[in-house]
Amino acid sequence: MKKTLLLTVDPQEPDLQKIRIAAGFIRKGGLVAFPTETVYGLGANALDAEAVLSVFEAKKRPLDNPPIVHVCEANDACRLAKEIPSKAGVLMKRFWPGPLTLIFKRSSVVPDVTVAGLDTIAIRMPRHNVALALIRESGCPIAAPSANLAGKPSPTSAKHVLDDLGGRIDAVLDGGPTRIGVESTVLDLTVDPPQVLRPGGVSYEELVKALGTVELNPVVVADHGLPVEKARSPGVKHKHYAPNADMVLVEGEVRTVVSKVNELIDSYRAQGKKVGVLGTDETVDHYEADVVKTLGSRSDLTVVAKSLFGLLREFDAEDVDVIVAEGVPAEGLGLAIMNRLRKASGYKIVKV
Ligand code: TXA
Ligand code: MG
């Protein structure tokens, strides 16, 4: 156990002194959790193999799943990538800083552990003043997976980080709750047309608008577990976003979803189980379960994305045996939301 220092900062104009304390840990090979616009990341100097290795250890993350390398200027990507295809220029201009991670062929300055032995690297420039200031003051690119224990929902607050990693990392920069709530979109630029490996904060529709043709990797839209070979992004083959309780996801037209959810509540309760429901503003009044929570309105998926991971953690705190969750339309941000819900359910999906 080490002491984890909590550094509370203003998300817009962070106190430079506190950023420098955090950067001091990074420079010395330590681990600092920090907010981004998507979720909190657990950062280490991306060019320090030992430091990156300790990120894997702190998270209990399998070594074959590389983190994203965060930069504070688009130019910094040039040193880390072997080549920057012209489409990348278009995307960086349009979406950086922002929730878009780009996969490039990697350069030899990057240690093997940072890319899990792959010949490619994931790079993004986050849109968050705390993250950008930390990278700048550290003077190095920062490798940062989400700051949760492997398999748990990603953290959208400093409290989530401390719940998982308190005593295992040097410091947390607390910049309040994150704005987007689901992780960045991961886009592979080593293939043409480019392929979305993980849906996230930048929607598929926006990428198509910027580039023309963009493909979706089969795992992005999968509604059942796929064979590992299909997963070009190493992370997708591992268990993810899972609450402790069993989870069932009900997908379909809203009215039929409501009656199916009610049917499931009854049958689980008849088995003596403590049942939680993850519904939406439009539907929660129709449910009677042990715990009922709303993701927000179906008409505003930005709120749904923002609340999703925190609510999954709340169900764990209330010790429910099973969570029955409603699906939302898989368009715009909905694609990322549904991808996380489906994974969280272990692909236990009921289509009505
Ligand atoms: O929003 C985010 O992306 C957050 C914040 C902290 O930036 N980070 C995050 O990192 O979600 P992580 O490590 O939890 O997810 C990174 C994803 C994983 O699915 C990983 O497999 C994939 O990116 N990835 C990393 N390097 C890759 C590579 N070279 N090729 C394909 N996928 C890669
Ligand atoms: Mg993660």
Ligand closest to the CA atom of residue 69: 1
Q: How confident is the model at residue 228, as a pLDDT?
A: 62
CA-closest residue to ligand 1 atom 18: 235
Distance 265 CA to ligand 2 centre (A): 30
**pLDDT tens track for 280-301:** 999 999 999 999 999 999 999 9
Distance 281 CA to ligand 1 centre (A): 31
Q: Which residues contact 170 (CB under 8 A, 6 or more apart)?
A: 2, 4, 5, 25, 30, 31, 32
Q: How do beta strands 40-45 and 32-35 pair? A: antiparallel
Q: Which residues contact 314 (CB under 8 A, 6 or more apart)?
A: 293
Alpha helices by DSSP H, listed for the chain, are 16-27, 49-59, 76-80, 86-95, 129-138, 158-165, 204-211, 218-221, 254-270, 301-317, 334-344
Length of the chain as a residue count: 352
Closest CA relative to residue 341, chosen from 314, 316, 304? 304
CA-closest residue to ligand 1 atom 27: 122
Ligand closest to the CA atom of residue 145: 1
Distance 195 CA to ligand 1 centre (A): 14
CA-closest residue to ligand 1 atom 13: 145
Going residue by residue through the chain (352 aa), what tens digit of pLDDT does each one get?
899 999 999 999 999 999 999 999 999 999 999 999 999 999 999 999 999 999 999 999 999 999 999 999 999 999 999 999 999 999 999 999 999 999 999 999 999 999 999 999 999 999 999 999 999 999 999 999 999 999 999 999 999 999 999 999 999 999 999 999 999 999 999 999 999 999 999 999 999 999 999 999 999 988 887 766 666 777 666 667 778 899 999 999 999 999 999 999 999 999 999 999 999 999 999 999 999 999 999 999 999 999 999 999 999 999 999 999 999 999 999 999 999 999 999 999 999 9
Q: How far apart are CA 269 and CA 289, in angstroms?
A: 8
Q: How confident is the model at residue 33, as a pLDDT?
A: 99
Q: Which atom of ligand 1 is nearest to the CA of 120?
A: 29
Residue 209, SS3?
helix
Q: Which atom of ligand 1 is nearest to the CA of 37?
A: 1
Q: How far apart are CA 303 and CA 91, in angstroms?
A: 25
Residue 191, SS3?
coil
Q: Please give all residues whose beta carbon lies within 6 A of any atom in ligand 1, as ranges.
A: 36, 38-39, 41, 65-68, 99, 101, 103, 115, 118, 120-122, 126, 144-146, 183-184, 186, 197-198, 233-236
Q: Which atom of ligand 1 is nearest to the CA of 198?
A: 19
**Mutation test of ligand 1: which of 68, 228, 232 has the most ligand atoms closer than 8 Å to its C-beta?**
68
Q: 113 phi and psi, to 5 degrees?
A: -65, -30
Q: How confident is the model at residue 242, as a pLDDT?
A: 79
Distance 186 CA to ligand 2 centre (A): 12
Angular region, 69: left φ>0, alpha ψ -120 to 50, beta rest: beta
Write out the two tokens for 128. Answer: 């968050």
Q: How confident is the model at residue 163, as a pLDDT?
A: 98
CA-closest residue to ligand 1 atom 19: 235
Local structure of residue 106 (DSSP, 8 states): B
Distance 259 CA to ligand 1 centre (A): 37
**pLDDT tens track for 150-186:** 999 999 999 999 999 999 999 999 999 999 999 999 9
Q: How confident is the model at residue 205, as a pLDDT?
A: 98
CA-closest residue to ligand 1 atom 30: 233
Q: Are 118 and 62 in contact (CB under 8 A)?
A: no
